[in-house]
């Protein structure tokens, strides 16, 4: 049974109509309650009060959730407040789909309705915040509540959860350039997602794997039937124009056609390079991202940014190419070298700083190695990234916030030839510089301590010239005629984008990263 949950105005009734068009027996819980009481819900509230309504709602829903004739059931917005209902939703055979909506959109939709709990805006907003964690805690899938006829496109992706390992979650990533399912869970490699007809693979054509020498031998045999494989060396040094050209020619030699697709198996380098190759080959073929590093699972696999580096700067050449799907199997993280897993934690803390709220609270208290058992945090980070991309896919404004720590971090990578630091390690240092430039001294110390606890660097190699880092910043790909806009942050959850910073301040923030804090330089 597909069980729809979500706040008032999220579109559950509309979704039922769409599900009915798929041939499902779709039922509205509110209609069942009104039939049972022989009254409308506003009348029940008016005569008996909310407590009596909740008791009736619980009894009716517990019966409906065990009814084998119902294929899809839309629950009232407050039903998840009942512990008994939450427990019933967790029973095998139920796929719980949260139709997510912003509080502003919800209020616009229902403020003129007769809903008893939509009469006071302040109370409405407080209730919205209270219920968000409950919806998240019970949901197997998250779809945008305002997307027009989303079930026409997402139904198969939701239905696929029935055949996937327990605990797998899916959300529907959506932006102006397209939409795609994101799956996060365990034992996903080798699962039904890689079989013919899977919603994670394009409908037709053959699968070709794009991977590197380290990851391919470990996991490529779990990707279903492959018609061929393109393999590149591991590491950032593979992200070059020369390797891009060589990969395209290899695909041509293998006979890849426009009806075929790539499966990008690897970390951020493989994902970026494979995505750019897929965008360019015969003017574009689909790519399914299968990230195998923490950096890629929480950040780089989503949003469609692809490309390669130039000696002058990181990611200087590329294109936007949204994936057909993203499949993040968190089990593979346990096989990462410790240093690689540690480096990925920089993107986790960066995302938490940007999101603020509950995600920052959880991540700031995270213990070393705990991420391996926290698929929920990988899911939350990926979802946050996609929400930002949805608002600004082409990186013209809001999406710039995702570059927190990256301006100095990329410059450090560039001046050290992409060999001294892993990407995440450079970003960890870049975060400290960004927080110093923000004037957020206490937060900087908190992040510095967090880095130390998780094994991330807090000092720049003494052989690195801070002046060279400042010079490299001027080649940042985000530079405009105004200069390089920094992302600053004083309070978690409140990033400030496109802020101009003078070179002297940048130099001071980098010098502070040296082992002696720049003394004597």
Residue 170 lies in a domain: no
Is the per-residue pLDDT at 332 higher than 80?
A: yes
Strand 169-175 and strand 207-212: pairing? Answer: unpaired
Sign of CA dihedral 152, 156, 162, 164: negative
Q: 338-347: buried (b, 16+ CB within 10 Å) or exposed (e) per residue?
A: eebbbbbbbb
Q: Which helix (H) or strand (E) holds 79?
A: none
The pLDDT value given to residue 179: 95
CA distance 334 to 374: 12
Does the pLDDT at position 476 exceed 80? Answer: no
> What local confidence, expressed as pLDDT, does residue 207 receive?
97
Tens digit of pLDDT for each residue in 336-353?
999 999 999 999 999 999
- pLDDT score at 518: 59
Alpha-helical regions (H) of 38-149: 41-48, 50-65, 83-89, 103-110, 121-138
Give the Cα separation of 391 and 383 in Å (integer).
Answer: 13
Which residue, 299, 253, 252, 254, is CA-closest to 280?
Answer: 252
Per DSSP, 480 falls in state B
Q: From the CB of residue 477, how many other CB atoms can be counted at a distance below 10 Å?
A: 19
Q: How many domains does the chain have?
A: 3
User: For 51-109, how does the pLDDT look when each residue is reduced to its tens digit (9 = 90+)?
Assistant: 999 999 999 999 999 999 999 999 999 999 999 999 999 988 899 999 999 999 999 99
Residue 245 located in a structural domain:
yes
- pLDDT in the model for residue 519: 53
- Measured in degrees and rounded to the nearest 5, phi and psi for residue 230 equal -105, 125
Q: Average pLDDT of 324-343?
A: 95
Q: In terms of domains, do 116 and 260 share one?
A: no
Q: Are residues 324 and 344 in the same domain?
A: no
Collapsing DSSP to helix, strand or coil, 169 comes out as strand
pLDDT-based confidence at residue 520 (cuts at 50, 70, 90):
very low
Q: Cβ–Cβ contacts within 10 Å for residue 247, how many?
A: 22
> Of 285, 307, 336, which closes a domain?
336
The residue to which tokens 């058992």 are assigned: 373
Confidence of residue 314 (pLDDT cuts 50, 70, 90): confident
The answer as to whether 398 is a domain residue is yes
Closest CA to 63 of 51, 49, 75: 75
Whether residue 324 is contained in a domain is answered as: yes
Asked if residue 364 and residue 395 are part of one domain, the reply reads yes
d(CA 53, CA 320): 50
Give the per-residue pLDDT at 481.
64
CA distance 297 to 268: 9
Residues 6+ apart with CB under 8 A from 216: 209, 229, 231, 265, 266
* pLDDT (average), residues 442-458: 97
pLDDT of 302 strictly over 90: yes
Query: Is the domain of 329 the same as that of 351?
Result: no
Query: Which of these, 258, 385, 382, lies nearest to 328 by C-alpha position?
Result: 382
At residue 396, the pLDDT reads 65
Same domain, 464 and 516: yes
pLDDT digits (tens, 9 = 90+) for 102-159: 999 999 999 988 888 899 999 999 999 999 999 999 999 999 998 889 999 999 999 9
Task: Taking residues 365-394, report their average pLDDT.
Answer: 91
Indicate whether 273 and 397 sit together in one domain. no
pLDDT above 90 (res 483):
no
3-class secondary structure, 231 = strand
- The answer to whether residue 289 is domain-embedded is yes
What does the CA dihedral 428, 430, 431, 433 come to, rounded to 10 degrees?
130
Question: Domain limits at 202?
Answer: 183-336
Could you give the CA distance from residue 399 to residue 387 in angstroms, rounded to a whole number?
A: 9
- DSSP-based three-state secondary structure for 117: coil
Crossing angle for the helix pair 466-473 and 406-415, nearest 10 degrees? 120
Residue 169 in domain: no
> Distance of CA 85 to CAs 32, 57, 82, 330, 494, Å?
15, 9, 5, 29, 35
| Rounded CA Rg of the chain | 25
Residue 401 per-residue DSSP state: G
CATH number, position 133: 3.40.50.300
* pLDDT tens per residue, range 359-369: 999 999 999 99
pLDDT at 106 (0 to 100): 94
Q: Which residues contact 305 (CB under 8 A, 6 or more apart)?
A: 272, 275, 315, 318, 320, 395
Task: Answer yes or no: do 410 and 521 share one domain.
Answer: yes
Is 289 in the same domain as 378?
no
Q: How far apart are CA 124 and CA 128, in angstroms?
A: 6
Domain end among 336, 356, 377: 336
CB 301 within 8 A of CB 289: yes
Whether residue 187 sits in one domain with residue 273: yes
Q: What is the domain-level CATH number for residue 270? A: 3.40.50.1970
Q: What is the CATH number of the domain that holds 494?
A: 1.20.1090.10
């Amino acid at each position: 049974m597909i069980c729809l949950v979500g706040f008032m105005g999220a579109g559950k009734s509309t979704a039922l109509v769409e599900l009915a068009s798929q041939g499902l027996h779709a039922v509205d819980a509110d209609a069942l309650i009104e039939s049972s009481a022989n009254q409308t819900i506003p009348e029940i509230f008016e005569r008996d009060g909310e407590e009596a309504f909740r008791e009736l709602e619980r009894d009716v829903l517990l019966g409906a959730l065990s009814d084998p004739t119902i294929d899809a059931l839309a629950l009232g917005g407050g039903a998840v407040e009942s512990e008994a209902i939450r427990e019933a939703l967790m029973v095998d055979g139920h796929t719980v789909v949260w139709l997510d909506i912003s509080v502003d959109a919800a209020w616009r939709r229902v403020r003129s309705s007769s809903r008893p709990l939509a009469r006071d805006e302040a109370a409405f907003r407080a209730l919205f915040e209270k219920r968000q964690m409950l919806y998240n805690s019970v949901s197997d899938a998250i779809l945008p509540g305002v997307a027009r006829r989303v079930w026409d496109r997402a139904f198969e992706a939701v239905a696929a959860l029935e055949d996937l390992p327990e605990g797998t979650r899916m959300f529907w990533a959506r932006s102006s350039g397209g939409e795609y399912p994101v799956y996060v869970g365990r034992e996903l490699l080798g699962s039904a997602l890689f079989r013919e007809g899977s919603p994670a693979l394009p409908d037709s054509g053959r699968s070709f794997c794009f991977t590197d020498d380290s990851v391919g031998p470990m996991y490529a045999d779990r990707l279903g039937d492959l018609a061929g494989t393109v393999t590149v060396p591991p590491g950032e040094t593979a992200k070059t124009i020369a390797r891009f050209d060589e990969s395209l020619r290899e695909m041509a030699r293998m006979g890849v056609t426009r009806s075929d697709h790539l499966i990008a198996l690897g970390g951020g380098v493989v994902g970026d390079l494979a995505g750019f190759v897929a965008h360019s080959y015969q003017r574009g073929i689909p790519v399914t991202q299968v990230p195998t590093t923490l950096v890629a699972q929480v950040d780089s696999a989503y949003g469609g940014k692809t490309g390669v580096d130039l000696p002058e700067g990181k990611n200087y050449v590329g294109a936007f190419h949204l994936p057909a799907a993203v499949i993040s199997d968190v089990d593979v993280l346990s096989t990462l070298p410790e240093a690689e897993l540690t480096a990925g934690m920089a993107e986790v803390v960066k995302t938490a700083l940007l999101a603020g709220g509950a995600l920052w609270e959880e991540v700031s208290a995270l213990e070393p190695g705990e991420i391996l058992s926290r698929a929920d945090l990988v899911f939350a980070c990926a979802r946050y990234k996609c929400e930002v991309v949805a608002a600004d896919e082409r990186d013209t404004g809001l999406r710039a916030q995702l570059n927190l720590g990256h301006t100095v971090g990329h410059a450090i990578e560039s001046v050290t030839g992409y060999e001294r630091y892993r990407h995440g390690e450079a970003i960890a240092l870049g975060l400290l510089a960004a927080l110093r430039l923000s004037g957020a001294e206490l937060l900087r110390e908190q992040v510095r301590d967090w880095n130390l606890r998780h094994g991330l660097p807090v000092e720049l190699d003494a052989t690195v010239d801070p002046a060279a880092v400042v010079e490299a910043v001027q080649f940042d790909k985000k530079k405009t005629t105004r200069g390089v806009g920094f992302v600053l942050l004083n309070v978690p959850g409140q990033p400030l984008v496109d802020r101009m910073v003078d070179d002297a301040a940048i130099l001071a923030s980098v010098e502070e990263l040296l082992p002696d804090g720049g003394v004597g330089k």
